[in-house]
Structure 1
């Protein structure tokens, strides 16, 4: 809207949207029969994520079939921006990830997102733009951040003080700004969304604690010990996301002139502060 675009928000059920956004009830995209004539561009950010124990066919229904149905609904001239996932590169790729890095999905969620990309490319050709965001930071964001906020709020000591890693994140507002840039006709076909500066898990926790106005109680427990406990509890994927490194460099985004609105620590503090306001 700030960029001068008229915005319609697709929703499964009738609901209230931010001022200036007209609602459009789609129903379940996996079964919906839609026509989206009259739109210059469609941004598809809906999908299934952050679930455990979900069969591959459920991932495919929500992330592949629904994307196909939406692509069929748009006019033959409309641009289509698909919000995918940086998880397509795996959980802990070696080196720095860019748009040139080969895909290597390691779970069914990432596989379904890659399959959706490939299917949409077949259907839409040059009209498709793919955005692969890193873990998104913002008020009420999903993933490990809500769990860390809960532990910090309770004043519990966290055994992550010895972790020496670097992970990429991106602010939700920066994702929105980059999506707007990708509406341009000459935008690249594939763009990564990640803050140029990654952050370590201990520094992430410190930023969240500042946002909550609570102390960050970090204990220097050896990372190898944490790994053993994670394996026993069957939480290796969570441990990898907290202890491993994942650095993404947004080459194409920076070339388009995109820059984050704030540093990553400030984004994390802002997300935590929003939770503080709600919880009281």
Structure 2
């Protein structure tokens, strides 16, 4: 295999992809980051990029590259303070992505693997009616819209140039070093704080970081992945109540969950302006990964409880 360019190597997903790829000598790995990463193996070259937008010059970095894994993005944040959030997302996630893809095609890159988001599909599913990879997209927020527009542009570039494109839409990603809401959840459980989530009967798909990375690695070379879209999860959907119970067990803590009806939580969340939080805690979001199994012969290699144990161990080690 030739040279691989990985963008976003300092991020949660990108760093894990880097760590996996750097363990093999089958290729040369070059990473593009906004700040220098220390402790990289000698097989890794580092290219610093000041910003990613429609004007970024990638040509010198793409020399000799066979594959691009594009994990860099302006990520979804709660309470975005941008004056025009959609314009801000488009600058990086659409213009930046398509600019990189066009230059990659010019340099003869064989395959472009794009890390997108389940938000392209939407925000919520009916119980046991999961999203599928080839269903019509229905993004709601600016981040999801920007990712959809990037996907559409990539498929046009693929058709025009012959460069293969693979699109991967992860669900919520967790694993050692996870931040944001998942980290807050572990903190609550570790402190033994009683939580009113003991009677939530939704279903949500999650994906362990190791499972996502495994699929990305498969999509680098698998011939049937070309010009396809894939959803990715652990294949083991959990209710919010089950999630808290199993993570508490991994943390070796009791789950102090109060059986408050979800309808009451939803009403309270609406009253306090926290509708989106209520949706994530009480609503369902499921994905169907049967396409991965049928087309790529891929199944998640890491079981949920094994992934929870690894995530909890990292968290507990950081508390010392």
Contact in 1 for aligned 2:68/2:109 (Cα 8 Å) = no
TM-score with structure 2 setting the length:
0.82
Q: Does 1:27 align with 2:50?
A: yes
What is the SS of the residue equivalent to 1:247? coil
Moved over 6 A (4+): none
Tell me the residue number matched to 1:167.
Answer: 204
Once the two structures are overlaid, the 10-residue window that deviates more, 95-104 or 157-166, is: 95-104
Contact in 2 for aligned 1:29/1:69 (Cα 8 Å) = no
Structure 2: distance between partners of 1:279 and 1:69: 42
Tell me the residue number matched to 2:318.
Answer: 278
CA RMSD of the aligned region, Å?
1.8
What is the SS of the residue equivalent to 1:97? coil
Give the superposition deviation at 1:61: 1.5
Structure 1: distance between partners of 2:179 and 2:153: 26
Contact in 1 for aligned 2:251/2:309 (Cα 8 Å) = yes
Structure 2: distance between partners of 1:18 and 1:229: 48
Once the two structures are overlaid, the 10-residue window that deviates more, 220-229 or 86-95, is: 86-95
Structure 2: distance between partners of 1:226 and 1:8: 47
Give the superposition deviation at 1:177: 1.2
Structure 1 unaligned segments of length 5 or more: list them: none
Tell me the residue number matched to 1:234.
Answer: 273
TM-score with structure 1 setting the length:
0.93
What aligned pairs does 1:146-185 form with structure 2 within 5 A after superposition? 146-184=183-221
Give the superposition deviation at 1:163: 0.2
Structure 2 unaligned segments of length 5 or more: list them: 1-20
Tell me the residue number matched to 2:133.
Answer: 99
**Count of residue correspondences:** 280
Give the superposition deviation at 1:211: 2.6
Distance 1:17 1:231, change over 3 A: farther
What aligned pairs does 1:58-97 form with structure 2 within 5 A after superposition? 58-74=88-104, 75-94=107-126, 95-97=129-131
Tell me the residue number matched to 1:264.
Answer: 304
Distance 1:18 1:165, change over 3 A: farther
Give the superposition deviation at 1:131: 0.7
CA offset digits 1:182-221 (Å, max 9, x no partner):
1125233111111222111111112222232222111101
What is the SS of the residue equivalent to 2:223? coil
Distance 1:8 1:77, change over 3 A: closer
What is the SS of the residue equivalent to 2:212? helix
What is the SS of the residue equivalent to 2:112? strand
Once the two structures are overlaid, the 10-residue window that deviates more, 107-116 or 26-35, is: 26-35
Distance 1:81 1:17, change over 3 A: farther
Give the superposition deviation at 1:136: 0.8
